[in-house]
Structure 1
Amino acid sequence: MANWQLIEEVRARNPLVHVITNIVVANDLANGLLALGASPIMASAVEEMVELGGLADVVVINIGTLNADLVASMLAVGKAANAAGTPVVLDPVGVGATAYRRETVRRLLAEIQFAVIRGNIGELASIAGVDWNARGVDAGSGDTTQATDIALKVAREYKTVVAISGAVDTISDGEHVRTIKNGDPLLPQITGSGCLLSCMIAAFVSVTDDYLTAVVTASASYAIASEYAAKTLKRNLPASFRIAFIDELALLHTHDHEKLASIEEVR
């Protein structure tokens, strides 16, 4: 279900990860990717997008702080990446919060083929057309037992791998479903933790054609890194955890994933 050798593959290949992201988290995403062993580029000018879509090993589109210029860049780089055979990962941050976000994601999904869509359950519920009580970029509240159905629905409709992140991660390619029960409670207390997971998933996707295994491996090892980080703290405080967590991403290859990973095959 997971292939831990992918951790070494990322470190060996140093994939170029092109990220169009939001102003809140760009620095942490770049540092996290560097710690992992990837090479980030955080460009957003539309004039560069066609070239970068073919140059990068993988592209991440994060809609966290949208504006019209960014949407144009997202569409340009996504289409260029598709043409070049470069995988594209979508992080639909807060998609259900406003009509503008919903329309932007609808357009992105219509015009770009995504290898992976990763978000919290509120975001994926919005894409699936399932009623959900979400607020802003938070996951909100609802029947979390629907995660499997939501993941399957979105994966099948958009022919992609879906990763729903939360206390339990749910991952599906439209046929298979995996759940992961790892991660420290401090992880959602640092802003951009989900955004960084999307980037980590992208790095893993760039080194294999088995996207389902890549997403499971990236998600599990990311969550396990948070558990290692929490163990180094004298006090369980979010700022200290943030630094320790990035350090643990640099030490990812030393973690005992086989022993600690709690991965279940649901179907």
Structure 2
Amino acid sequence: MKYGFFPGCSYKGAAGYKESTEAVSRLLGIELVEIQDWNCCGATSYWSTQSIEAYVLPARIMALAEKQGLSEIVNVCNACYSTLRKAQEKLAQDNDLNEKVNLALAEEGLKYTGNLNIRHLMEVIVNDLNADDIKKHIKKDLSGFVVAPYYGCQLNRPWADIDDAHYPVLMDRLIEMVGAKPLKNYSAKTECCGAAHMVAHKDLCMPLNNRIVKDAVSKSAQTICTLCPLCQFNVDASQYKSGLPMVPVIFFTQMMGLAFGLSEKDLKLQKLLTPFKLAV
């Protein structure tokens, strides 16, 4: 299976996300074709300005994908996923804006049509693969491994078309597929981590992250599993000096890699701020 791939700005620097994504994708037969000459999507911070440039950034990514003959763009970041989808929706509704964006793109010979599906890798794995295609790679028993599935706030909102907006289950299903135990009553699974606001408004964002961690720890989760680089970093880094018991925060691809028998070194779990050994 081949998909267009927009890695986004934080992918390479995230704690083992790139390494685990590439390893798991190879095993599953997923070919991620990187969009050539991609740029930052602007994320939620720039998107909020509602300027022409804020629309041009995600539109350019999609136009580049179209130029490569790709029909789907797979993301591994909630902010990237959300920004591309919002831009696609807005440009479909506003002909004047669409014209202005395409005028800017024409300067480098690009054209945006919007004929693309925007997806997240986790959803692709759950919906495009059969459970048996995943289970056949399992080499390690994770039946005693309790995982709190943390989706973040942007994957299912505002559309709620791939999963429930407030209590999604896609990652829960994936956790079960690889033999681990999803925390069924994890009420913080779609709480916001504060995203980039953690930099300027740490005092406001720390309570958000404390709730995400506290809910997982109080219900005996051994790890928190997420699917966004900024979510992972915020929830992981916020635990220091929080006064709460610390719990590792891993990516869903690292969890899959563990089940597939890949080593902690291969999955770069040593890059986590909260040591993974606390969870096993």
TM tier, smaller: 0.3 to 0.5
How does the TM-score come out when normalised to structure 1? 0.35
TM-score by length of 2: 0.33
Q: Tell me which structure has the larger Cα radius of gyration.
A: 2
In terms of fraction of residues, the more helix-rich structure is: 1
